[in-house]
Structures are given as C-alpha cells and as structure tokens.
Amino acid sequence: MPAVWAGGWSDDPAIEARVERLLKQMTLEEKLGQLSQYSGNMQTGPDTGRRDYKEMVAAGEIGSFLNVTGEQANRYQKIAVERSRLQIPLIFGLDVIHGYRTTFPIPLALSSTWDTELVERAARIAAMEASADGVRWTFSPMVDIARDPRWGRISEGAGEDPYLGSAMARAYVRGYQGESLSDPTSLLACLKHYVGYGAAEGGRDYNTTEIPERLLRDVYLPPFQAGVEQGAATVMSAFNALNGVPASANPFTLGQILRKEWQFRGFVVSDWTAIAETVAHGTAIDGADAARRSIVAGVDMDMQSDLYRTALADEITAGKVPVSIVDEAVRRVVRVKFAMGLFEDPYARIAPEKMLTPDHRQSAREAAEKSFVLLKNDGILPLKRGARVALIGPLADSAGNMLGGWSAKGEEADVVTLRSVLAKELGADVTYAKGTEISGGADGGFAEAIEAARSADVVILALGEDAPTMTGEAASRTELDLPGNQEQLLEAVAAVGKPVVLLLFSGRPLVLTRAVERAAAVLEAWFPGVEAGPALVRTLYGDSNPSGKLTASFPRSVGQLPVYYNHLSTGRPLPGEFDPNSIGSASKYTSRYIDQANSPLFPFGFGLSYTTFSYGPVKLEALSYSAAELDMGKAEVKISAEVTNSGLRPGQEVVQLYISQRGTSVARPVRELKGFRRVALQPGETKAVEFALGRDELAFWNIDMQDVVEPGKLKVWIAGSSKDGIPAELTIE
C-alpha cells in the first residue's frame, strides 16, 4: 500500500544524494553515534551513568538527546555542528504528550472529544511551543489500544477502539508535523509503543502480551498503520514481549509489517533501555546479543541502553551484524535530519513569548469542555445562578493534578482551578472544604465538609485520582474505585441530603457503581489542563453543554475486566440484561457471571448532554452489494439517519456508526465503530447524517489471514452510543 507521506520528505532525490554522500564519509563509530540517544537531565528509567555528553557530542558519539530543551539544546547543538568532525546536527526529543507549556487535557480526555480537528489543533499548538524551546521531536502520539483500565497508561491513549484510535493517530501526526518537516515549527511525531504494549496481562505495566495475529492486525495495528500512512517520521518500539518475542527485537512486527507491508521510511527508536531489557526477557544472552538482535530486527536508534555505541562495533567485526544493516539505520536517521532542515538551520530560536498565548489557552479550554463526559444527571445540572454552593474535595483546588500525569513544561501557576473561578464568580455564596486527601487521608476533614454541605443548596464534590502517582507509566491499579477514603467522604456528604454534583478527575475509567448512586449528577472531567476551572464552571452553569463521549468502557467491578464493547458474541450470549432472579432459569447456561451483569456501567460511546437527541431509522440506499466491488473500492455502502435535538438547549452530538457482520469465515465483533461525526443542533433542529462504508471499513483479516471484504449479512446502527440504536441489515453477496 503506498504511503501518504506528509511533506514528501521521504523520497526527495536531493536528500537521498546528500544522505549517501554523508554516509560515505562516516566512520563506524560515527555511524553508531547517530544511532545512539541519551537523556540529558531527567532520568525516567534506568540510568546509563554517562554525563560526559559534551565530549561525546564532540566525538560524534551521540545522534540525539531526549530531555534537553531551551538554551541547553542550542549549546549541545553548537558542539555538534562546530566541533564534531562531520558536523551532523542533533535532534532533541521530549515527551510532549498533551501540550508543551499550554497543558491540554490528557490524551484519553482529548479522545473523548471525538473531535479530530481540535486534537490536530492541540498538537499543532504543542508543536509551535515546543519548537520555540528547542524541541523538534515528540514521543507522541501513544496509539496503543487499551482494553484494561488497570493499566495506568490508558490515560495516554485514545481508549479501546481501533477506528477512533486511527482517526486520532492521524490527527496528532498532522498537528505535530504540520505541512512539512522542514518547517521550523514542525515536531517529528513518534507512534508508540510498537506494538501490543496496551494489552499487558492483568493490566500490569510492562507485562507480557499475547495477541493472536488476527487480533493484532484487526485491533492493535490499525492506529499505527494510520499514523504511518499519515507520514509519521518515527515509531517507538515497545518494552513488552509480544507472543514471547520482545517488541524491541521483533523481526515480524518491525521488519515484515512495518517496513515491508507498510513501507515505513522513517526511523524506529527503542523505548527507554528496551534493547538492554531483552536480556531480562531472556531472549538476549548479554548486552552485545541484545544490540545485535534489535538492530537486525529493525530498531534504528537506541534510547538509553548505551549498547549500540558500545557493543555493536565488535559484533560487526566478528561478522555477526552486517555493516549494511547499520548503514541502512543511519540512512533513516540522517534522512530525517536532512528533511528537517537541521543541516541548514540547526539552532532553535528560543521564544518564550510563543508560550501560553491567549489563543492557546482558549483552545485548551475548548478541548477541556468538549472532553467532559456527563455520566448522570437527574436534572440538577446545569446549576442555577444564585444557589449557594459547597465546594468539597481534594481535587477542587489542586493545580498540580489539573496538569495530568505527564505535562511537558506546564506549570502549576498557569492553572486556573475550579475553586479560584467559583470564588471569583460566587463570592460569599461558595464555601470550600477539602474534606480529605486523595489517598491516605483521615476522616478529620469530614466534619467541616458536612458543615459546608449543610449550609449550601448544592454540593460540588471534586474527587478522583492523583495524576502523577496513580496514572500513566508504572501506575497500574488493582482497585478502581475512588482511592483513599473518598467514597466515605461522598457517603458522608450525600447523607446531608443536599444534591451532590460529583466531578471526577481520573486518568482511567473508574468503578463508580456505588458512587453514582449517591450523586445527583456525575461529570467525568479527566485531568483537564490549564483551563480546568473556567471550563468546569462554564459547564456546571450551562454556558457550555457537555458533549464528550467515552472512548473506554467503565466497568461495574474489577472482576469484569477486560470489558470492552467490540467483543465477540460467544456461542451462548446472555439474552438481554443480567437479572439476578434468573439464576436457575433459561439463561443459566449462558456466558455470564452469576453475580453481575456482563455489560459495563457506562459503555463506549456513552455521554449525556443538557439537551436530548433522538435518532430516526437507519436508511439504506440499497439492500445488497457485491463483496468483490466493495473489496476493490468500486462501491460504497451508503447509509444515513436523521438526528434531532429533541430538548430545549443547543447542543452537539457525536453521531456514531456501528456495524456487525455475520456469515463470515471468522466471527466478527458484536459491534464495531466505523464512522462518527460531531453535529451541532439547535433545539428542534434535525440534520440528516450520512456515512459511507468502503473497503477500509468493511475488510477484515479472514480465516486465510487475508484482509478482504467477505460476503455475509451486515448490520448497521447509527446511534449515540455503542449500546443504543436499532440496526438495519443488508446483504453483501
């Protein structure tokens, strides 16, 4: 499949000629230097112990840094381009995950906007700010599909669905890289973590993954392929072993799929010490063996293992690694450096005035508002002006947490908290009580919280996780309810009898089964970024109408995990919903638990609004299509439905298209997302929403492991969530 390369950087004959000329001049040591990356300041994993970077750069032993920014980056660059023999510039990379100085909502929240234009804009803003501080490469987007919220890194991705994940992957890549890599505001994107990292067994970070090839190709690979086709310049190989083979030394995923099938022309960087870790996995005997296996498999750059530079030369001399493999890796790295224009313009123009502009803040606020998911509302929201408010909870005034678990250069002082906005707007009509800590809190603060609730008309309770310690990397949890004694605080406050609006701040789906019963309204706010306070207050008071939809299912209990919407049916599906009284009845021998429903508490695609939307029947243009024509891209299934704002407020609805196929050579999921659109509707307004299903949407990896459209029956839903709607059915012959 021909790749759609952004900016045409990968096949410019002038660049190719320069690459070859440079390669001819390089010593083996200089080549290995280009393939070696070191962390400048922060150590977010095992340390190499090396700090003699200036000498190393001068000797041509380093090709790239991570965690070096600003003037320090320019200082290293000066050494590289003035003192190293071949004057090859360095690339500076950083984890710019959801904004640089202007912190946007965390990626899971951004995905909940279902707004690819907005995500692209957020990534562009991040690129403009980061590049104005010397960073030209981000280790983002994380496009790992995550079906298990125990895994802390579910916060960094777009949730459980490959179709949405692919759309988000493309949006990030477009935003980061912009029109051309040679634009000084362009950041190299890095699709990570290739591949299967999100399927960690038991949700425990870094754990083994077992993914059969069909599932890999149908579910885990598509977002990577989408990002590659969009022109992503780099890919990061993951920590995990996939089906027993470490992902950072996997010839099948790196060589066969990424390079051969997708024709990826950029370079692959390992995750932090992932090459060295293949020794712990047990496939590599020692460091030299690890370096050999990884470079041969197709990992071009070594992040922090310090092995390519120190061990590969001997492997080459011993004839264990052909130098042609090293040459090819060097080509890939310097090709990107040429395409970035670094040889002509190696220095960053540091421009603090480009950070956190009013426009950037405005986009961060819009993103936060669109990311909020209203999970429950008995009518208390939006709040009425004039009501006395008790603002309670450890997250009501926590600037640090609003920045999420991994903000690049966000500062607490930049954050506008919920408490500060409410205090300004309501004055004496708001009372604040922290109530407890996020975790490890005693109940000493409960009395003050109860008192505040008593004297108010409504309680806003801000609860959730501690972003830096409980979400992101190395933050897997086995319990997913509210940490510490926050559930007790909720009970105590709810017992006062005033309506409770529960605001949740989390980096993952939580188990809210009990909490939801206590609250009159529940709004999932994730970690919303610098504009948390204004976005929340506008939403609470109805200046902004919630429109976010879940991109990962919220389980009823940890015992249900994994729970995701696009599962297979089984031969004994549970008819209807769980009924505890039916034990011993006809549904006894069906696939279910005896003590709980199979369904999640809140499904994928779910999210309420202050208005309501109604859906007309799914309209089909034809009742049958030819599989061969669909497969060749000569036909498309056209479907539409009318969507009406049936409530009293203007609102935006994320209209979702789902399919399910039967009669196929392998069982297909009960539903799969294959289209979505954000539609703005005034009260009473109706719009027809049309979708087309072509090869890209209908093909799957069949029993012969071919990616084809098969004959069968096709059900189609157009609905507001993965659990709603009435399907129409057509035939593919």
Spatial separation of the C-alpha atoms in residues 646 and 609, rounded to whole Å:
11
Decide: 133 and 350 in contact? Cβ < 8 Å: yes
* Range list of H helices, 520-640: 532-540, 627-631
Name the residue nearer to ligand NOJ (CB basis): 40 or 573.
40
Contacting ligand NOJ within 387-446 (CB under 6 A)? none
Nearest distance from C-beta of residue 5 to ligand NOJ, angstroms: 23
Q: In the complex with ligand NOJ, which residue's Cβ is closer, 232 or 536?
A: 232
**Nearer residue to ligand NOJ within complex by CB, 48 or 640:** 48
**Rule CB under 6 A: which of 561-580 touch ligand NOJ?**
none
**Binding ligand NOJ by CB under 6 A: which of 30, 61, 95, 120?**
95
Binding mask 217-256 for ligand NOJ (x = CB under 6 A): ----------------------------------------
> By rule CB under 6 A, what count of residues binds ligand NOJ?
9
Nearer to ligand NOJ, 271 or 631 (CB): 271
- CA of residue 388 relative to chain centroid, distance: 38
Residues 257-296: x/- map of binding to ligand NOJ (CB under 6 A)? --------------xx------------------------
Q: Are 303 and 274 in contact (CB under 8 A)?
A: yes
- Which residue number, 66 or 403, has a Cβ lying nearer to ligand NOJ? 66
Q: Which is nearer to ligand NOJ, 404 or 533 (CB)?
A: 404
| Dihedral (Cα; 490, 491, 494, 500), 10-degree rounding | 30
Check 218, 271, 300, 306 and give the catalytic one: 271
Using rule CB under 6 A, residue 473 touches ligand NOJ:
yes
Least Å distance, CB 585 to ligand NOJ, is 48
Q: CA-CA distance, 630 to 637, in Å (whole number)?
A: 8
Shortest distance (Å) from residue 128 CB to ligand NOJ: 21
Shortest reach from residue 137's CB to ligand NOJ, in Å: 10
Rounded Cα–Cα distance for residues 115 and 659 (Å): 21
How far apart are alpha carbons 436 and 129 in whole angstroms? 37
**Which residue number is nearest to ligand NOJ in terms of Cβ?**
139
Report d(CA 1, CA 566) in Å as an integer.
27
Please answer whether residues 198 and 216 qualify as being in contact, where contact means their C-beta atoms are separated by less than 8 angstroms. no
Which 3 state secondary structure label does DSSP give 681?
A: strand
Q: How many CB atoms lie within 10 A of CB 108?
A: 31
What's the rounded Cα separation, in Å, for the pair 549 and 533?
Answer: 20
Which of 37, 560, 553, 607 lies closest to 269, judged by CA?
A: 37
**Nearest Cα residue to 357 out of 538, 99, 536, 543:** 99
- Minimum Å gap between C-beta 699 and ligand NOJ is 31
Cβ atoms < 10 Å from Cβ of 584: 8
Q: How far apart are CB 284 and ligand NOJ at their closest, in Å?
A: 19
Q: How far is the CB of 44 from ligand NOJ (least distance, A)?
A: 5
Contact 363, 432 (CB under 8 A): no
Query: Given the complex with ligand NOJ, which of 38 and 564 has the nearer CB atom?
Result: 38
Shortest Å distance, C-beta 98 to ligand NOJ: 13
Chain residues 691-720 in contact with ligand NOJ, contact rule CB under 6 A: none
Sign of the alpha-carbon dihedral angle for 713, 719, 721, 724: negative
Residue from 7, 12, 23, 44 touching ligand NOJ (CB under 6 A): that is 44
Nearer to ligand NOJ, 137 or 505 (CB): 137
Annotated active-site residue 271? The verdict is yes
Interface characters, 59-78, with ligand NOJ (x: CB under 6 A): -------x------------
DSSP three-state, residue 521: strand
Distance CA 730, CA 733 (A): 10
For the segment 649-668, give every residue that binds ligand NOJ (CB under 6 A): none
Cβ proximity to ligand NOJ, 406 vs 602, nearer residue = 406
Per-residue exposure over 52-74, b if at least 16 CB sit within 10 Å of its own CB, e if not:
ebeebbbbbbbbbbbbbbbeebb
Cβ at position 471, least distance to ligand NOJ in Å: 13
CB of 184 to ligand NOJ, least distance (A): 23
Nearest of 545, 544, 548, 542 to residue 504 by alpha carbon: 548
Residues 6+ apart with CB under 8 A from 197: 144, 153, 209, 238, 239, 240, 247
- How far apart, in whole angstroms, are the C-alpha atoms of residue 260 and residue 526? 39
Nearer to ligand NOJ, 94 or 284 (CB): 94
128 within 8 A of 185, measured Cβ to Cβ: yes
- The distance of closest approach from Cβ of residue 139 to ligand NOJ in the complex, given in angstroms and rounded to an integer, is 3
Report long-range pairs for 159-162 (Cβ below 8 Å, ≥24 apart). 159/108, 159/111, 159/112, 159/550, 159/551, 159/552, 159/604, 160/551, 160/552, 160/553, 160/564, 160/565, 160/566, 160/604, 161/551, 161/565, 161/566, 161/604, 161/673, 162/218, 162/219, 162/220, 162/222, 162/223
Q: How far is CA 89 from CA 50, 71, 341, 347, in A?
A: 20, 15, 10, 9
Residue numbers 602-641 binding ligand NOJ by CB under 6 A: none
Kindly state the tokens that stand for 455: 């004297």
Q: How far apart are CA 671 and CA 690, in angstroms?
A: 19
Taking the least distance from each CB to ligand NOJ, the nearer of 45 and 616 is 45
Q: Letter for the amino acid at 635?
A: A
Residue 136 or 192 having the CB closest to ligand NOJ: 192
Kindly write out the interface string for residues 133-172 of this chain, putting x where it contacts ligand NOJ by CB under 6 A and - elsewhere. ------x---------------------------------
> Which of 192, 508, 549, 723 lies at the binding interface for ligand NOJ (CB under 6 A)?
192
Element (H, E) at 66: strand 64-66
Question: In whole angstroms, how close is the CB of 704 to ligand NOJ at the nearest point?
Answer: 35
102, 148 Cβ separation under 8 angstroms: no
| Nearest CB to ligand NOJ, comparing residues 247 and 520 | 247
Strands 712-719 vs 651-662: parallel, antiparallel or unpaired: antiparallel
> Is residue 206 within the footprint of ligand NOJ (CB under 6 A)?
no
Closest approach of Cβ 188 to ligand NOJ, in Å?
A: 13
Q: Per the structure block, which two tokens stand in for 539? A: 């939403």
**Secondary structure of 638-668 in the HEC alphabet?**
EEEEEEEECCCCCEEEEEEEEEEEECCCCCC
The residues binding ligand NOJ (CB under 6 A) are: 44-45, 66, 95, 139, 192, 271-272, 473
Residues with a known catalytic role: 271
